[in-house]
Amino acid sequence: MTEERAPYPAGHAATPEPSLTTEALIAKAHAHQQGIPYETGEPWLARLPKRLRALADLILSDKRTAGEVAYALAALIDRIENAPVNRDYNMYLIDPLNPLKNQ
C-alpha cells in the first residue's frame, strides 16, 4: 500500500536579495549619519586608533556577522570621506615639499 503525498507547493520562490556592495553600505551609513555633525581635525584623529581597535575587536569576537562588520567598516569609511576639512590645519609638522621652510 502506497501513501498519497500532497504535492509540493510550487508558489513564488523568494527572490534573492541583491548582493551588497561597499558603496551601498557607505551610502546607508551616510544616511544614518544625517543631522549628526562629523568630527573634525585633531580630536577625530586622536580617536581614530581607538575606533580601529574597536573594529578589530569586533572582527575577532566572532559575535557579529560579516554584514555587521562590513557596515561598521563602511561607517568608518564614511566618517573619513565626509569629515570636514580644516583648511588652516597643517597636517605636516615638517613640510616634505619645502625642506628650507622647516628650519
Dump pLDDT digits (tens) for 37-83.
777 777 878 888 998 999 899 889 888 888 888 998 998 888 888 87
Specify if 42 maps to a domain.
yes
Specify if 97 maps to a domain.
no
Structural domain including 42 reads 22-85
In DSSP notation, the chain reads --PPPPPPP--PPPPPPPPP-HHHHHHHHHHHHTTSPPP-HHHHHHHHHHHHHHHHHHHHH--S-HHHHHHHHHHHHHHHHHPPP-TT--S-SS-TT-GGGG-
CA 15/CA 6 separation, integer angstroms: 24
Specify if 52 maps to a domain.
yes
Q: Are 79 and 38 in contact (CB under 8 A)?
A: yes
Specify if 6 maps to a domain.
no
- Is the pTM higher than 0.75? no
Specify if 99 maps to a domain.
no
pLDDT band at 95 (very low <50, low <70, confident <90, very high): low
- In the chain, the number of structural domains is 1
